[in-house]
Amino acid sequence: MMDLLQAIRERRSVRKFTDEAVSEEHLLTILEAGRWAPSGLNNQPWRFVVIEQEAIRKSVAEKTKYRKVLEAAPLQVAVFLDGEASYNRDKDLQGVGACLQNMQLAAHSLGLGTVWMGEILNRREEVEALLKVPETYELMAVLAVGHPAGTVKDASREPLSELVFRQYS
Ligand X SMILES: Cc1cc2nc3c(=O)[nH]c(=O)nc-3n(C[C@H](O)[C@H](O)[C@H](O)COP(=O)(O)O)c2cc1C
Q: Which residues make up the interface to ligand X (CB under 6 A)? A: 12-13, 15, 66, 69, 115-119, 155
CA-wise closest residue to 49 among 148, 146, 147, 130: 130
Q: Least separation, in Å, of the C-beta of 80 and ligand X?
A: 15
Which residue's CB is nearer to ligand X, number 55 or number 155?
155
Q: Least separation, in Å, of the C-beta of 167 and ligand X?
A: 28
Which residue's CB is nearer to ligand X, number 61 or number 115?
115
Q: Least separation, in Å, of the C-beta of 11 and ligand X?
A: 7
How many other CB atoms are found less than 10 A from the CB of residue 1? 9
Which residue's CB is nearer to ligand X, number 74 or number 97?
97
Q: Least separation, in Å, of the C-beta of 169 and ligand X?
A: 35
Which residue's CB is nearer to ligand X, number 163 or number 165?
163
Closest residue to ligand X, judged by C-beta, is 118
Q: Least separation, in Å, of the C-beta of 88 and ligand X?
A: 19
